[in-house]
Amino acid sequence: MQKLVKRAAQAQRQATRRARQQMEQDNIDNRMRNRQALRSAVSEIRQNLKDARQARREDWEMGPLAPKRDLGFNNYGAFKETVRQDWTNYGLHQARPQLIEQRCAWAGGARQLNLAPQDRVVIMDGPDKGKIDRIKDVQAENGTVTLENHHRALSVGMFDNPARSQAMPISVGSIRLVYPLRNPETGVTKDVIINQLKAVPPNMQSSNMSLDRWQYGKKWDRLVPGLSMIIPWPEVQAPEFEATKADTVREQVEERTFYYGLLSPPMPDQVLDELRNKYSRFRTRHEPWYIEQKEMEEASKKGRLEAIKSMQTPLEEFHERRRELRDTQGEPELSEELLEKIGEYMAKKKDAALNQAGVSQVSSQQAPVN
């Protein structure tokens, strides 16, 4: 059994090492791909600047005879998708956690982002500064969102497909939530820009939300700290699914079809063999009959070794006694006399080497100080 345990531990170490090497190789491949994409994006930007300078020169020199570039026939002003990627954390899979938290700080953080699709937001910087739009999609893992109408670009694609307008991701730090609030003094309701949101546990009395199997909403409420007011989430409609003959409905999944007692395993042996490969090298738990078989094999092997020892020659018996004697004596210890002899021999060899190299060793005694 000790051999089986060692084999399983060795297989586990080998699998871990292979997984680590594969992960390192994947990281290297991702960095290489990102480096190539960044290089192509930089070259495209340089080409766009070159085309823009040429167009400006032609417009100045040719005047009304200059070509009409704004008709869309030659994809003028269109960018490829690689140009509009987020290169803030070049070389990795996604942006740094510190950068993501900095983007989402005003909205409660990346873990509990208080933004959802159909929220009305205002753009705080960029060409579309001051415009109000609705959120189309939220990418909490990168701290970005996409809008429905603004912050778009004319994209060509990888294979020079016809140009199309495509929504580009915008940082959460570049937008703010817009919500209509009523002024208690004047009684006028108008849109207000909310600069800070905080996630709080849900108020179960004021909302019909249940945390049991909640799938189509948020498990918390968003609060404006300065006003102590909860901003409701946008309404979400649960999708309707239609079961077909190939689907397994919930009643069939929750129906109990297997009964067992305290003396039987929690599932049939065939299912256990499917879940846990009975011939796997990583297996650590075995059946009693298998353990007994392996112990019998080890006992028979030990008996064969004892039989072989009983037929040793006198010389083999002498070597066996010498090995046992060495094991009982332990490590040898050097005496003072032997250490002195070793030092003298090393000094003699050093002097001989220096004389052979033509270097004379001069020994000087220090005169006593009066």
pLDDT in tens, 165-198: 788 889 999 999 999 988 888 888 999 999 999 9
Do 217 and 236 touch, CB atoms closer than 8 A? yes
Q: Concatenate the DSSP letters of all residues of 238-264 into one string.
A: PPP----TT---HHHHHS------TTS
Q: What's the pLDDT score for residue 264?
A: 78
Mean pLDDT of the chain: 81
Determine contact, residues 79/158, Cβ cutoff 8 Å.
no
pLDDT in tens, 296-341: 988 898 888 888 878 888 888 888 888 888 888 877 788 889 899 9
pLDDT tops 60 at residue 212: no
Contacts of 81 (CB under 8 A, 6+ apart): 155, 156, 157, 158, 166
What mean pLDDT is predicted for residues 196-203? 84
The DSSP call for residue 361 is P
Domains, in order of start, for the chain: 95-242 (2.30.30.30)
CA distances from 219 to 108, 179, 197, 278, 307 (A): 14, 21, 15, 42, 73
Per-residue HEC secondary structure of 97-119 comes to HHHHHHHCCCCCCCCCCCCCCCC
Mean pLDDT of 10-20: 92
The alpha carbon dihedral of 119, 222, 231, 123 has a sign of negative
Which range scores top for mean pLDDT: 57-61, 176-180, 274-278, 353-357? 176-180
What is the model's pTM?
Answer: 0.52
